[in-house]
Chains A and B, each alone.
Chain A
Amino acid sequence: MDQPIQTDFIRWIVFLPLIGAIINGLLGAKIQKRLGKGAIGIIACTPVIIGFGLSVMALVRLTALPPEQRFLIDNLYTWIHLGSLKADMAFLVDPLSAVMILVVTGIGGLIHIYATGYMHDDNAFWRFFAYLNLFTAAMLALVLGDNLLLMFVGWEGVGLCSYALIGFWYHDHANARAGNKAFIVNRVGDFGFVLGVFLLFWSLDSQGHGTLTFREMARWASTLEGQTIWGLSVVTVATLFLFVGAAGKSAQIPLYVWLPDAMAGPTPVSALIHAATMVTAGVYMTARLNVFFSMAPFTLQLIAVIGLLTALVAATIALTQTDIKKVLAYSTVSQLGYMFIGVGVGGYAAAVFHLVTHAFFKACLFLGAGSVIHAMHHEQDMRKMGGLKQYMPLTFITFLISVLAIAGVPGTAGFFSKDEILWLAFSNHHPVIWGLAVLGAGMTAFYMFRQLFMVFFGESRADHHTREHLHESPRVMTLPLVILAIGALLVGWIGLPAVFGGSLFARWLEPVIAHGEHHGSHALELGLMAVSILVAASGALLSYLMYYRGAFSPDRFANLAGGFFYRLFDNKWYLDEIYQVVFVNGTLLLARFWSAFDHYIVDAIVNGAATLTRFVSWVNGLFDRYIIDGMVNALADIIFWTGNKFRRVQTGNINSYLYGILIAVVFAIIVKLRYWS
């Protein structure tokens, strides 16, 4: 195996935002008061922008190397070393992490800049950027960590920042609760994640290769072949555990419920954390450990099914949402489902590709939504919007481009990446998955165009006051929108389908992700492509007819089957309610039960022992007083009584004494004579 090349600049990609977070976190309040919010913004944005520069530098360094040697490592020190467990504080850039850091610092940088405008009126400006920088650092640690434990540091770190940012406006209990929910649901995922890590580590260790370093793990993966635990294959169990972690972080069924609530955070947060970067960590992790997942066909199948279900369920919920951010949130869940379909059919590269394109268009959509919300004085209900395109032309254009991209209009980024996943599903013998996924793509087109029409077209439904103050957002906000929209339009061309010459992107990832084989002809590929375009187009058309032309009312669909489906979708399949009853209330019930047990049984036994001891001692006291002491006193009384009786003998009269002596002597003589001789 080629030794990775040692460098010492990669650490700064992680540390610079961390330093930014520390400065703003500890001194931010003072800086903001003395130097203003501009200074805070500069402290926060600069590290990310430099980080982007360093990431580009790393990328350039990589491209200069032959493909099989594309590894740069920056090893700081040995972090944990105990027995065979050795984890370094080391950062690794390889083709996969290079892509990720470009996304995180690039899109992250744009969102930072955008946020300086969006958050400008917030007094806790400094705190926001401290969290945002900390998040960036954690996310970069997640993707750059060269071992599973370091990845886990980033993994939980992003969760922490997500928690803090969802609950950023903590004065409202609802926001704080949403943060809790996100953190705790993620903890359930982490529970699976760490168990997967343990199992992988010990299984490798049993063959003498205990390691958590990715490259070493991939190298020795084959030693897991044939190992079993609880009668199942180790790889299958381990990858299932890991997928629980991925499902938590990447909001898959059954752990997706936290993501829609996470929209309680400021919109740039939704764009950066809950669309572009953090939620894709699960996809990244499976891609990073693809060797193991590929060894576990059962896990892959399950992932594909879960991904599909998530994609469909979330899409159905998105159909009925009226909150501008909630639509995007469910859309994100749905798109993440597509990524996992990709993983499940063995198309890790396609999944990562969709991750990248999705980062562009979804970040653009969220920031566009943020721009709208900003203009509408924090109104998020789409029913109160409409006709915004003439007030906010730039926001409108960029939003439109991103809608085209997510709907999969040919030539846009989303088209290439989604189609790659669909094609892989079909060509790897999953026609049913393909069919349902195409249906989901149709729904995607429908709800995204619905949103576009409701927000930007038609008559304005805003109140008079709001309408008067409608304005395009400032340049710091529109510039990132424009750049992201350009990305949403063009970035797909790095991953052309096989029929058009094959994907540059997949080839770039080849050193990390083995290229899956393709079955099927070009003609078939083109035919399927046409079908999916057609389905998406009909979704868009339906949306056009309903929400633009008003040709028929949405109610006609809502009332289908007595409104059953509408209610089901609108209430998010009642999953939140079910979880609340089963898990939250269940746990609380357990807590109350055991706490009562603690108080009324365990502690009562202790107190009971004390009471018993006191009772025994009381009985003992009585015994002592009336029996033992009674005997002593009785003895004394007897002696006293006898003494009293004999007292009379002591008369003080010599005569009576002499008589007494005489009687005694006579008695003694009689005894002597009678009995002693």
Chain B
Amino acid sequence: MEHNVLTYMIFIPLAGAVVVLLLPSQSYHLIRWVSAAVTVPPLLMASWLYANFDTTTVGFQFVQKAAWIPAYNIQYFVGVDGVSISMVLLTALLSFLCIFASFGIDKAVKGYFALFLLLDAGMMGVFCALDFFLFYIFWEVMLLPMYFLIGIWGGPRREYAAIKFFLYTLFGSVLMLLAILALYFNTNPHTFDMTVMMAQAKNYSTQSLPFWPFNELRWGFQHVVWMAMFIGFAIKIPAFPFHTWLPDAHVEAPTAISVILAGVLLKMGTYGILRINYPMLPVATADMAYWLLGALGAWNIIYGALCAMAQTDLKKLVAYSSVSHMGYVMLGMASFTTQGINGAVLQMFNHGTITAMLFLLVGVIYDRAHHRNIEGFGGLAAVMPVYTGITALAFFASMGLPGLSGFISEVLVLLGVWQKYPGLAILGATGVILTAGYLLWTVQRVYLGPTNEKYKTIPEIDGREIFTLVPLGAIVILVGVYPSVVLDLLRTSLDNLNQIIIPHLPS
């Protein structure tokens, strides 16, 4: 079924970026509202996509394919399946909301919104691309605006953070590029078509390479390519020990960019592993999953939570909580049970919404107090009851309170993992205690207790800010009460993915 809806979703923001550039640079209002308008059609298309997505088929839907550079078998090829659909929806939603969250930007407004829309196009492209070359292009397209958005509109240490983010990701990209080329030359005929690569997965050698000194460990072509891809993606997730760019980037980035970073960009790491490593390199996946996804994921959970507990900067705390929560995704992926893998992708979606709320909420208080020191507040609940209420919702969702979305994904992940690796499930479950610890402690220090004299007259959250938060809050509750709204989209494709790996698992 050929369909050009995805193409529109990718290129409307791109066209929007061009339009914004043509606007007079002093008309802030015009620029903001034009940018907002640009993100509406993709959002509507996403809803349409949601309504028309066939949940019973494994194959790619809404595909569009055209030759691009025929000499090298490079195509323009986009499509979605259960692995990517939820991410496409999330991207469309967060891009829309973040435009509104960016209305407070008043420095070089035109550049900001143009870059933001370019970023939007890149993100959408990454999740839709089914040609490896195209995927890589979008991956890099995303990187550049991000660098400038942090580096120009960020906080005091923005340049350090931006360069760190850029170089770190670029380092991963280079490894990824090598891996892509390795796959390209091992596919007959040479092609960048991902679906062909998936179909040829069994042709990618698993023979131990002659130069590998420990030949009793299976370390073949697949494994080398897997590692190269994995490091590229692990940086994005971010998996320990490749995570230290994240706290810096998050803290320095403007609010909306932090939201996009945590809400969408981090998901690209785990998405990439599911999209590429799993179906294309199944033997290596089966061999590596326990240590590099499962155990590392469990470690991410605990390590991130402990680091979060030690933070004094509210935004940094939320950043480390992302490290912790993305650990659940890795852990769930590694279980190869239907509950685990579905829980993992649902966790990607849920973390996208919950952490977006958290960053928006941190932004609200930062805009008013101009600092984020946890110890520097106190008793905000009395002056900002609505704000505190929404924060409580987000915090409790983040700590996996039943009835809210985070619970469903965490419990699915842990349940799925228990069947394969009870030990990892126990480790992962300790994260639930630690999370409650640092979040409640934060609530107490920031929102409860006697009201800090300095903030007796701090203004309550305003309409625009509420507007950015309410849709996310509604999703958090809806998914918690009726998780099928997301799970139904994922199940077929993810179960199929499991079936690809399971035969190769060491018994």
Contacts and interface: CB of A to CB of B under 8 A. Distances in A.
Given A167-B448, A188-B433, A202 B310 contact: no
Contact of B381 (A152, A170, A184): A170
A205 B418 CA distance: 12
A594 B444 CA distance: 23
Contacts of A80: 408, 412, 483-484, 487
Nearest to B426: A195
A486 interface: no
A647 interface: no
A201 B164 CA distance: 46
A523 interface: no
Interface in B63-95: none
A591 B429 contact: no
Interface stretch (B22-30, B183-191, B396-404): B396-404
Interface stretch (A44-52, A172-180, A439-447): A172-180
Interface in A162-208: 163, 167, 170-173, 176-177, 179-180, 183-184, 187-188, 190-191, 194-195, 197-199, 201-202, 205
Contact of A194 (B411, B437, B438): B411
Contacts of A163: 440
Given A82-B491, A85-B415, A606-B245, A173 B482 contact: no
A156 interface: yes
Contacts of A588: 309-310
Interface in A570-608: 587-588, 590-592, 594-596, 598, 602-603, 605-606
B436 A157 contact: no
Contacts of B438: 591
B306 interface: yes
A77 interface: yes
Nearest to A230: B422
Interface string A60-83: 000000000000000001111111
A530 interface: no
Contact of A171 (B440, B443, B449, B481): B449
Contacts of B401: 156-157, 160
Interface stretch (B2-10, B98-106, B335-343): B335-343
B319 to A, nearest CB: 11
Contacts of B342: 82
Given A198-B414, A198-B418, A202-B419, A183 B440 contact: yes
Nearest to B303: A594
Contact of B382 (A167, A171, A173): A171
Of A157, A183, A201, A605, most buried by chain B (CB within 10 Å of CB) is: A183
B448 to A, nearest CB: 4
A591 B306 contact: yes
A594 to B, nearest CB: 4
B443 to A, nearest CB: 8
Q: Chain B: interface secondary structure?
A: helix
Nearest to A590: B306
B432 interface: yes
A292 B298 CA distance: 30
B302 to A, nearest CB: 9
Contacts of B243: 602
A510 B306 CA distance: 48
Contacts of A167: 444, 448
Interface string B169-182: 00000000000000
A277 B42 CA distance: 50
Nearest to A174: B449
B484 A190 contact: no
A594 B306 contact: yes
Contacts of A229: 422
A153 interface: yes
B488 to A, nearest CB: 9
Given A171-B449, A195-B418, A83 B338 contact: yes
A171 B407 CA distance: 30
Contacts of A188: 433
Contact of B164 (A172, A197, A598, A606): A606
B311 interface: yes
A588 B312 CA distance: 13
Interface string A134-160: 000000000000000100110111001
Contact of B429 (A180, A195, A602, A605): A195
B484 A78 contact: yes
Interface in A595-643: 595-596, 598, 602-603, 605-606, 610
- Interface-central residue, A80, A156, A594, by most chain B CB under 10 Å: A80
B448 A591 contact: no
Given A190-B432, A595-B306, A180 B244 contact: no
Contact of B402 (A77, A153, A170, A592): A153
A173 B444 contact: yes
B48 interface: no
Interface in B431-474: 432-434, 436-438, 440-441, 443-444, 447-451
B288 interface: no
Contacts of B407: 153, 156
B18 interface: no
A202 B403 contact: no
B341 to A, nearest CB: 10
Contacts of A602: 240-241, 243-244
B499 interface: no
A197 B412 CA distance: 12
B56 interface: no
B426 A180 contact: no
Given A170-B381, A594-B310, A606 B483 contact: no
B307 interface: yes
A606 to B, nearest CB: 5
A82 B438 CA distance: 31
Contacts of B379: 170-171
Contacts of B385: 29
Contact of A83 (B244, B307, B337): B337
Given A587-B309, A591-B310, A595-B307, A82 B448 contact: no
B440 A79 contact: no
B168 interface: yes
Contacts of A606: 164, 168, 244-245
Contact of B311 (A155, A160, A197, A595): A595
B167 interface: yes
A125 B415 CA distance: 41
Nearest to A169: B448
B430 interface: yes
A480 to B, nearest CB: 30
B425 interface: yes
B449 A173 contact: yes
Nearest to B449: A173
Given A170-B381, A606-B164, A194 B307 contact: no
The 9 A-B pairs of least Cβ separation, nearest first, read A595-B310, A591-B309, A83-B338, A153-B402, A176-B448, A198-B418, A603-B244, A170-B448, A591-B310
Given A177-B444, A202-B418, 17 more contacts: A79-B481, A80-B487, A82-B487, A153-B402, A156-B401, A157-B403, A170-B379, A170-B381, A171-B449, A179-B444, A194-B411, A198-B415, A201-B415, A595-B311, A598-B244, A603-B244, A606-B164
21 contacts: A79-B481, A79-B482, A82-B412, A149-B411, A155-B402, A160-B401, A171-B450, A179-B440, A187-B437, A188-B433, A191-B432, A194-B411, A195-B418, A198-B415, A199-B422, A205-B419, A587-B434, A588-B309, A591-B309, A595-B311, A598-B244
Interface of B: 164, 167-168, 240-241, 243-245, 303, 306-307, 309-311, 337-339, 342, 379, 381-382, 385, 396, 401-403, 407-408, 411-412, 414-415, 418-419, 422, 425-426, 429-430, 432-434, 436-438, 440-441, 443-444, 447-451, 481-484, 487, 491
Interface of A: 29, 77-83, 85, 89, 149, 152-153, 155-157, 160, 163, 167, 170-173, 176-177, 179-180, 183-184, 187-188, 190-191, 194-195, 197-199, 201-202, 205, 229, 587-588, 590-592, 594-596, 598, 602-603, 605-606, 610
